[in-house]
Structure 1
Amino acid sequence: MVPVLLSLPLLLGPAVLQETGPYSLVFLYTGLSRPSKGIPRFQATAFLNDQAFFHYNSNSGKVEPVGPWSQIEGMEDWEKESQLQKAREEIFLVTLKDIMDYYKDSAGSHTFQGMFGCELLNNRSSGAFWRYAYDGQDFIEFNKEIPAWIPLDPAAVNTKQKWEAEKAYTQRAKAYLEEECPTMLKRYLNYSRSHLDQKDPPTVTITSHTAPGRNRIFKCLAYDFYPQGISLHWNQAGKMLTSKSGGVFPNGNGTYLSWVEVEVPAQDRDPYFCHIEHSGLSQSLSVQWDETRKAKAESNMATQPQ
């Protein structure tokens, strides 16, 4: 976050390569010019993959690990991390004020957000990013290949000049994304891999609805699965059908849900199958709707070829 970048010592020894991942470490920052009563002016959340593992806000001034990470000893020096987040908070809010001054936006409430992080695949760095938004619009992003900050908004030209006034800062930002962030992620994985590698298979239900004078709609709902990657589609006679997908959403308990619908003629009584692929399943699954309104779950070995 702006010029406050940790120089982490490379404490990790040679790592044993495993066909695992991807794993990601992502920080999300939000600053508000006029927060509502009780809402912090600045908040930061760190994520391992899609799981929040610590929070920080300007009201408490402290980093607090959450979820299973609150029970882990030695993963991080939380007092030192609190000091780092406090320093980032101060510079983050200065940047927000600079943007507001540029646009003379003293009235109303304005939001500045930043997101940056890195990814490991098979224990090797496989990607990194660093970008900001002002009032929900792209503002500036870092291109580590040049390396340089790329303005995406007129006011961001001033921000770029300010951040790059210290020539070493651009190189430090590049080093953070390519070296320090992956190193930190590897260290966190020593404490977190078993939790991040959990695989919860989906529970699947199928419903059918027919409105008077309309086609029949089959809906296949998969829920309580983790990780979030899943493939859902409808098949009939071994052919994939055009269907409407509901996307993938958090389920409120650390797992995910998704659904897919297909519309068929109301009088059609041919078998239709919802095909599901997920890493929590030992093999792909096909679920058929029957006329007794019971979903029959069968593996591909016991159903028509998919």
Structure 2
Amino acid sequence: MEILVFLTLLVVGLHSAAAVTHSLKYFYTGSSQVPNFPEYVSVGMVDEAQISYCDSNTNRNEPKQDWMSRVTADDPHYWERNTQICVGNQPSFKANIETAKQRFNQTGDVHIVQMMYGCEWDDETDKVVDGYERYGYDGEDFITFDLKTETWIAPKQQAFLTKNKWDNNKAYNEQTKNYYTQICIDWLKKYVNYGKSSLMRTELPSRVSLLQKTPSSPVSCHATGFHPQRATLFWRKDGEELHEDVENGDILPNQDGSFQMSADLKLSSVKPEDWGRYECVFQLSGVKDNIITKLDKAVIRSNEKTDMTIIIAVAVVVVALIVIAVVGFMVYKKKKDGEAKALNNSSDSGSEQSERLNPQP
């Protein structure tokens, strides 16, 4: 059985320029010999909000947003079907990892096969913004679907066998493109409709702070508590945005569904008498008013204890994100069953989330 694997991509934090672009993403992970971690995990996300979770310990696919319970009104067996798929797909992971180990001439130790796929949709123009399907093994790219050419890209020699086989299956590649440009989008629209009161809310940051570890460290402008994630945070001097001596961080989710981000300004090129010319600007898409914070020593929080609290808080979020990014799984090829669609032919293991295996008409 051939292997299908994912690229270890931490997509949370990707910046989106369009104010009305929505995304549906799934992360699957199959692992071996990872201490205190399930051999199988799946996570679904809409607009960076986690909507579902299942692993090989609980063997139950469950909603992670209150509004996701509405899906059963249209599909009473939705969660039961997802749970069955979660349980039924697990045996493939062990086989896929063994196949990958053979491809890479490896033996035991920790190994991970992953998949990420999803789609993006602009609800103003009603156009498909993007669709993607990516696989990897042990944190490196393995094979990726090119939506435009309907072919597969293999960055590693070990993936050529899979690429050649899938490229020869023109009918399946057409189905794959159809999934990301139509079926996935249809599901995304449904989810956005279910959770629009939550997903489409607009909240400015609850706090924008200037932080600094030591007098010689960069000054970090940190914004937290905003929603949605379509926001920008940057430094400017005399009204002009700075690009040099500035390091922008990723947008990270908070536990309450809001987001946080930071932008660091290096002080090596900032003269003491010029501090008043610098300011941090937070912009939230769809909101006219910006939040401007002047570079002022009097407002910088530099207490080590305070900094460590923030660092620890951010670290916890990052760990959670890594788990989400590692949260994907390898699903083996299944025959068509009702509305279910196979991802690969008989000698390849397939990867699909429940909506893909059981799309609504």
Residues 159-170 of structure 1 correspond to what in structure 2 (within 5 A)? Answer: 159-161=162-164, 163=166, 168-170=171-173
1:174 counterpart = 2:177: yes
What percentage of residue pairs aligned between the two structures are identical? Answer: 26
**Residue identity opposite 2:73 in structure 1:** G
Question: Per-residue CA shift, 1:190-240, capped at 9, x if unaligned?
Answer: 2122211122212222357884xx6x9654322111222322233343344
- The structure whose residues are more often helix, as a share, is 2
Residues 1-306 of structure 1 correspond to what in structure 2 (within 5 A)? Answer: 21-36=20-35, 38-69=36-67, 71-72=69-70, 73-74=72-73, 77-122=78-123, 123-161=126-164, 163=166, 168-202=171-205, 203-206=207-210, 211=215, 218-241=219-242, 242-250=244-252, 252-253=254-255, 254-262=257-265, 263=267, 264-268=270-274, 270-279=276-285, 281-289=287-295, 293=299
Contact 1:28–1:116 (Cα < 8 Å) also in 2:
yes
Partner Cα distance (1:117, 1:292) in 2: 46
Q: What is the TM-score normalised by the length of structure 1?
A: 0.76
Q: For structure 2, which runs of at least 5 residues remain unmatched after alignment?
A: 4-17, 302-361
Question: Per-residue CA shift, 1:278-305, capped at 9, x if unaligned?
Answer: 137441232335576499xxxxxxxxxx
Partner Cα distance (2:39, 2:55) in 1: 8
Contact 1:234–1:243 (Cα < 8 Å) also in 2:
no
**RMSD across aligned positions (CA):** 3.2
Count of residue pairs brought into register by the alignment: 275
Using the TM superposition, give the Cα deviation of residue 21 of structure 1 relative to its aligned residue in structure 2, in angstroms.
2.4
Using the TM superposition, give the Cα deviation of residue 79 of structure 1 relative to its aligned residue in structure 2, in angstroms.
0.8
Change over 3 Å in CA distance of 1:205–1:59 after alignment to 2: closer
Using the TM superposition, give the Cα deviation of residue 59 of structure 1 relative to its aligned residue in structure 2, in angstroms.
2.4
Q: Which has the higher contact order (CA 8 A, sep 6+)?
A: 2
Change over 3 Å in CA distance of 1:56–1:208 after alignment to 2: closer
Higher Cα radius of gyration: 1
Q: Secondary structure of the equivalent of 2:272?
A: coil
Contact 2:30–2:94 (Cα < 8 Å) also in 1:
yes
- The structure whose residues are more often strand, as a share, is 1
**Residue identity opposite 2:290 in structure 1:** S
